[in-house]
Structure 1
Amino acid sequence: MNAIILVVNRLSKVIGNICKLFAYPFHYVLPKKRFAIPAYSKAKIRPNSDSEIPRVIWQTNYSNKSTLPVYLNYLFNRLMSLDHDYRYVSTEERLEFIRDNASQEVYECYKRINDGAAQADLWRLVVLNMKGGVYLDIDANLVWPLSKITQDKRHVFITNKQDTQITNFFLATAPNNPIYQKTIDLIVRNIKNRDESQGVYSTTGPQVLSDALQGEDVEFRSYRYTCIQGSFTNEHFQYLDKPRGKWIHTAPKDLIKDENTESKD
């Protein structure tokens, strides 16, 4: 079965790269053309089995008005998840969700985060811990039907970088996951005791999840058989309307603002 999944993985890369190549002349001719990712998309087919992990995909970005590659990435994922609902959450809606559903401590810490991706790191944990479901980064694409990935699972954690690192660009869980709460608590601690030498990766990102998973008895699934990044899009197309908007351009010293200071998107 893994061999078949790898074939689909490679095929998705080929399709994605063709789309990406076509997008350069497309956006050269139509530089202002954007495609709207819907706030909600209902499942297209009825699931044929029960699942502990709710069948809903959560995504966020600085805008739902996307370039062609990002939109095609979204469509490809919908084909891989026809029995799942889909929800896109805006920057403003992320803040509202944290305010209305998280503790005051988490909300105050969230407001101090000065980078959109880092905000999304915390938001995805809060929304999945409360509602359950699946989170995908906007540039990630599934390589196998989502229901097959989450079948008979209460949570799914994946590794990338040749399976040497735990990552958070794909997350799936049933509600009320103690590991997610532990990760949230670690992020809150990092924000309250900020280290200006540490950037997004270690303050809110995959390193925090990796720390939370230390000593936990969980299975890991390889990204090769689950979800990959960068097939359909890249930094240029993802941030065409927000140059240097990627988290790698946020200096560690600017990541966490002082209390009572407004954060940026």
Structure 2
Amino acid sequence: MMAKRRGTRLHIKHVAVAAMVLIAASAVLVFVVSKPQSLFEDGTKLNTAWRSEVPDPRESYLSKIPKVIWQTVKSHDVPEAAAEAGLSWSRLNPTWDRVVLDDAEVLEFVRHFYNETEYKIFQNLPIGVMKADFFRYMVIYQFGGVYADADTTNFQRIENWIARDCEFVVAPEDNDMFFCQWAFAAAPRHPIFKRLVERIFERLSGNVDYTYEHFVHEYTGPAAFTHSIREVLGISPEEKLQTYILTEEAKAMRKDGICWKTMQELDAALRNAFAHGKEEFLKDGWSNWLEEAGQMNDVASGQAARASQN
């Protein structure tokens, strides 16, 4: 079971008001005016000494999921279908703030909230999808909230599928091997995301094998996401995820704010065009847009692999 260290709890109303004021002003302004914080203590090299048992204020996290929806896009000039998907979140959740950052704003976020070494590691990622993967973990670790891919349409109000006492919300994928990371939610500074972010930094600071066919999946994608969840919650590698989340052991984690969703429950609330791959979700320009993005990633993967061999 996960041991939680909590500092002073902020009243949820204060969190909501603070979030709305900061985000309404400007998402980028948040990054500029806030005091810079480094994930690692040493600004010149990776240092994980702060993971010791000595109490650290960065271990503390809020016990509620802030009412903020985070999404990323390559640029703010998105297809009409993508814009409609995004608006579905705002229409159904008018009391939530929705923040959409493009590539340049994502870089500014990382530059501000992480140190120079960490920023360079992020900036040097060879493929845009790896940056998108990593950023979603970084921003949820820092601020908490709901994350959803830009091609995800919302069909149910967030309150209908995320209970008020949840602190981490996730569903397994259909393949039963990984947890879904195109939509999830968490409280700020949650231990799962702390471990996930530090683990990715640790692995990317070493020798990255870009020749491995599934290096994106392994270093920043669902494999990295799932491994950290298993590690923090003590779920063995042999456990089948769809079966595990229905066990009494998994259900008992609810007292720690761990809220499992079945894939059916997530599907009832959300639709992800790429993940579902169904014709009804790949119309109005979605299929062309996704195909073009996929081709770009394939090209980048090949370039990265060749560069590592030279």
The TM-score with structure 2 as length reference comes to: 0.60
Q: Which residue of 2 aligns with 1:125?
A: 137
Are 1:210 and 2:247 an aligned pair?
no
Counterpart selection for 1:67 from 79, 92, 99 = 79
**Counterpart among 254, 259, 262 of residue 304 in structure 2:** 254
Contact 2:271 2:281 (C-alpha < 8 Å) held by counterparts = no
Q: Do the aligned residues in 2 keep the contact of 1:60 with 1:89 (CA within 8 Å)?
A: yes
State how 1:9-28 maps to structure 2 within 5 Å: none
Q: Could you say which residue in structure 2 is the equivalent of 1:262?
A: none
Is 1:116 matched with 2:125? no
* Corresponding residue number in structure 1 for 2:208: 194
Higher normalized contact order (CA 8 Å, seq sep 6+, divided by chain length): 1
Report the counterpart of residue 271 of structure 2 in structure 1.
228
Contact 1:135 1:170 in 2 (8 A): yes
Q: Give yes or no for contact 1:54–1:132 (8 Å, CA) kept in 2.
A: yes
Instruction: Specify whether residues 253 and 59 from structure 1 end up closer, same or farther in structure 2 by C-alpha distance, changes over 3 A only.
Output: same
Larger radius of gyration: 2
Structure 1 residues 144 and 243, CA, compared in 2 at 3 Å: closer, same or farther?
closer
| CA 215–144 in structure 1, closer or farther in 2 if over 3 Å, else same | same
Instruction: Give deviations 1:241-260, integer Å, cap 9, x for gaps.
Output: x6723x455426617978xx
Query: Is there any run of 5+ residues in structure 2 with no aligned partner, and where?
Result: 1-22, 26-62, 234-257, 274-279
1:182-238, Cα deviation, whole Å (9 max, x unpaired): 111221122223012142111111110111011443442123322331154444134
Whether 1:244 and 2:295 are equivalent positions in the alignment is yes
Which whole-Å CA distance do the structure 1 matches of 2:162 and 2:134 have between them? Answer: 22
Amino acid at match of 2:289: F
Paired residue type of 1:135? Y
C-alpha separation in 1, matches of 2:259 and 2:176: 13
Give how far 1:141 is off: 2.1
Q: CA deviation at 1:60?
A: 0.7
1:173 is matched with 186
1:141-173 per-residue CA deviation (whole Å, 9 max, x = no partner) reads 234211222222111112222554212111211
Of 143-152 and 111-120, deviating more is: 143-152
Count of aligned residue pairs for this structure pair: 209
SS of the aligned residue for 1:172 comes to strand
Give the direction of change, closer, same or farther, for the CA distance of 1:215–1:110 in structure 2 (3 Å limit).
Answer: closer
Task: Give the Å deviation of 1:81.
Answer: 2.0
Determine whether 1:101 maps to 2:101.
Answer: no
Secondary structure in 1 matching 2:65: coil
* Partner residue, 1:155: 168
CA drift at 1:102: 1.5
Greater CA drift, 181-190 or 217-226? 217-226
Q: Which runs of structure 1 show a deviation greater than 6 angstroms over 4 or more consecutive aligned residues? A: 255-258
Query: Alpha carbon RMSD of aligned pairs, Å?
Result: 2.7
Q: 2:195 aligns with which of 182, 192, 206?
A: 182
Identity %: 21
Deviation, structure 1 residue 139: 0.9
